[in-house]
């Protein structure tokens, strides 16, 4: 456990949960964050419901955040909807580092996608220790600034003698009944050999927020990102769970969706209440351009 303060003084639709109380939603628009270095590459055309595994070679930055630029493959103005389902970091026996993405296509349309990667800089590091293939390990920070900061975790995998060291990180935000915010993260070895990794922690300022009505324990939900300025390439999602006397309110960040219809771009983030109690929360977003 780490006390973070010691380091740093569209429409809402459910996947199994439908949040229809639009009058209960409050959006706080912001402006895009300071200029960020980006890389981009074409992910090609996605057939309906096609899932592609793509990656960026020579991924030598501290951390990356991914976004998508989407258009219709057959009708440019069509409403295309693509999802970044997973990301992970990999290092091969040659020493090459890679950033991997799993992307799912629209349910109906053929869509074209360009991947944008924002280069992020760490503010601290930690170590996973050795993880066997398939093994996971979790940590959390106390006194996190969940209201003002979106956190991301990059990975520097160790170099294996053979095979690949690949580490996937998932993130959660939790609020204790006494009001303490916590940030937790889970590293899973999704590669082929036992290995360790250095985790590179990133802090981004919050640019826009959405108040989320109460979601039952276990319930997934999607949140549309408001106030996205033109030129924004990547959205990074976070959360500030509410305080409830019934127990810790815990929210996991699952995925991001990018949609385009004509000249309008929409971005959505997928979440789940992974705690044991129903609770409200605030969805927080860093807008990178």
Gap between the Cα atoms of 240 and 72, Å rounded? 35
- Which tens digit of pLDDT belongs to each residue from 228-287? 888 889 999 999 999 999 999 999 999 888 876 555 578 899 999 999 999 999 999 999
**For residue 55, what pLDDT band results from cuts at 50, 70 and 90?**
very high
Beta bridge partners of 140: 184
Task: Kindly report which listed range (15-24, 108-117, 159-168, 231-240) carries the lowest average pLDDT score.
Answer: 15-24
Over residues 218-224, the mean pLDDT reads: 95
- Which tens digit of pLDDT belongs to each residue from 129-143? 999 999 999 999 999
Q: What angle do CA 43, 100, 70 make, to 5 degrees?
A: 30
Q: What angle do CA 167, 169, 171 make, to 5 degrees?
A: 175
- Which tens digit of pLDDT belongs to each residue from 143-184? 999 999 999 999 999 999 999 999 999 999 999 999 999 999
Report the chain's mean pLDDT, rounded to a whole number.
87
Map tokens 């160790």 to a residue: 158
User: Buried b / exposed e across 103-119, counting CB within 10 Å, b at 16+?
Assistant: bbbbeebbbbbebbbbb
Q: What's the pLDDT at 25?
A: 37
Percent of the chain scoring above 90 in pLDDT: 77
């Amino acid at each position: 456990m780490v006390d973070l303060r010691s380091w740093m003084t569209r429409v809402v639709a459910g996947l199994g949960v439908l949040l229809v109380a639009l009058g209960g939603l409050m959006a706080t628009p912001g402006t895009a964050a300071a200029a960020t270095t980006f890389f981009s590459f074409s992910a090609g055309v996605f057939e309906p419901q096609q899932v592609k595994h793509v990656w960026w070679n020579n991924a030598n930055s501290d951390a990356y955040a991914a976004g998508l630029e989407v258009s219709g493959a057959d009708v440019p103005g069509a409403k295309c909807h693509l999802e970044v389902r997973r990301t992970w970091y990999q290092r091969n026996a040659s020493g090459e580092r890679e950033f991997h993405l799993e992307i799912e296509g629209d349910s109906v349309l053929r869509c074209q996608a360009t991947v944008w990667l924002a280069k992020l800089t760490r503010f601290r590091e930690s170590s996973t220790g050795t993880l066997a293939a398939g093994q996971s390990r979790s940590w959390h920070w106390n006194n996190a600034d969940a209201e003002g900061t979106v956190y991301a975790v990059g990975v520097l995998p160790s170099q294996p003698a053979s095979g690949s060291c690949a580490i996937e990180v998932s993130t959660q935000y939790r609020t204790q009944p006494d009001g303490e915010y916590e940030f937790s993260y889970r590293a899973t070895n999704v590669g082929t050999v036992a290995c360790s990794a250095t985790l590179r922690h990133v802090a981004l300022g919050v640019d826009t927020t959405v108040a989320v009505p109460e979601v039952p324990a276990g319930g997934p939900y999607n949140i549309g990102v408001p106030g996205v300025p033109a030129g924004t390439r990547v959205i990074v999602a976070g959360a500030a769970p509410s305080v409830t006397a019934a127990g810790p309110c815990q929210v996991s960040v699952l995925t991001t969706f990018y949609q385009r219809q004509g000249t309008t771009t929409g971005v959505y983030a997928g979440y789940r209440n992974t705690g044991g109690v129903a609770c409200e929360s605030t969805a927080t977003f860093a807008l990178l351009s």
